[in-house]
Amino acid sequence: MAIRPILYSENPLLRRKSRKVQRVTEEVEELIQDMFETMRAANGVGLAAVQIGVPLRVIVVGIPEDVEDPAAGTTLSLINPEIVRASPEVEEGVEGCLSVPGWAGNVPRHVEITVRGLDRKGKPVRMKARGYLARVLQHEIDHTEGILFLDRATEVWPVEEGEEEKVEAAAVGMGPRRGA
Ligand code: ZN
């Protein structure tokens, strides 16, 4: 396992659509492990493969145990994730992004979504997510389409190093966390 460097928003790769994974190989398994390690080292709650320079449709999510949310402790990886249903109901919430350090913004997201994809063994999975987990999934799936939260935000503002945590904690009602 290895922590890999995270790309920043000026990197054109972040604007490209990621490719579908054709076969779930050992390399994909290794990629997922590196993504988890990189995400945790950066205090993130989610990461897409393209953020570490691999333009494949792979995302990981890790909601810490100590947050007040029904999704607390959720850890998952998804290959070729796809939103197949989204509630018409939308709510705004504060987001940050590991690829956009120093910025936060208000982003409208669907409150509930149904996502399908493959697990790390290549088995098809389908899941429903609400609230914060649904937000993180939408943020990560956007990365696979070359979309950053800045594109969807109704408002963005600069945050000081370390202040990101306060902003997110205040707005999302969670413990100190940073971007995804
Ligand atoms: Zn992000």
- CATH number of the domain residue 22 falls in: 3.90.45.10
Binning pLDDT at 50, 70 and 90, where does residue 160 land? confident
In the reported structure, the alpha carbon of residue 40 is separated from the centroid of ligand 1 by a whole-number distance in angstroms of 14
165 as an active site residue: the answer is: no
* 84 phi, psi to nearest 5 deg: -105, -20
In the reported structure, the alpha carbon of residue 31 is separated from the centroid of ligand 1 by a whole-number distance in angstroms of 17
Q: Does residue 18 lie in a domain region?
A: yes
DSSP category for residue 70? T
In the reported structure, the alpha carbon of residue 36 is separated from the centroid of ligand 1 by a whole-number distance in angstroms of 14
pLDDT (0 to 100) of residue 165? 57
pLDDT (0 to 100) of residue 47? 98
Taking alpha carbons only, the member of 149, 135, 44 closest to residue 105 is 149
pLDDT for 174 beyond 60: no
Q: How confident is the model over 81-94, as a mean pLDDT?
A: 97
In the reported structure, the alpha carbon of residue 148 is separated from the centroid of ligand 1 by a whole-number distance in angstroms of 7
In the reported structure, the alpha carbon of residue 71 is separated from the centroid of ligand 1 by a whole-number distance in angstroms of 19
Neighbouring residues of 107: CB distance < 8 A, sequence distance ≥ 6: 92, 93, 94, 95, 135, 139, 149, 152, 153, 154
Q: Does residue 6 lie in a domain region?
A: no
pTM across the whole model: 0.91
Q: Phi/psi class of residue 80: alpha, beta or left (left: φ > 0; alpha: ψ in -120 to 50)? A: left
Catalytic residue, from 29, 95, 140, 168: name it. Answer: 140
Q: CB 1: neighbour CB atoms within 10 A?
A: 10
Q: Does residue 90 lie in a domain region?
A: yes
Number of structural domains, the chain?
A: 1
Domain that holds residue 162: 12-172
Sheet with 103-110, edge to edge strand ranges: 90-95, 103-110, 155-158
Q: Does residue 100 lie in a domain region?
A: yes
Encoded tokens for 30: 């290794």
Q: What burial class does residue 12 get, using C-beta atoms within 10 Å of its C-beta: 0-12 exposed, 13-18 middle, 19+ buried?
A: exposed
Q: Does residue 5 lie in a domain region?
A: no
In the reported structure, the alpha carbon of residue 97 is separated from the centroid of ligand 1 by a whole-number distance in angstroms of 4
Ranking 28-32, 33-37, 62-66 by mean pLDDT, the lowest is: 62-66
Distance CA 38, CA 35 (A): 5
Give the rounded distance of the alpha carbon of 67 from its chain centre: 17
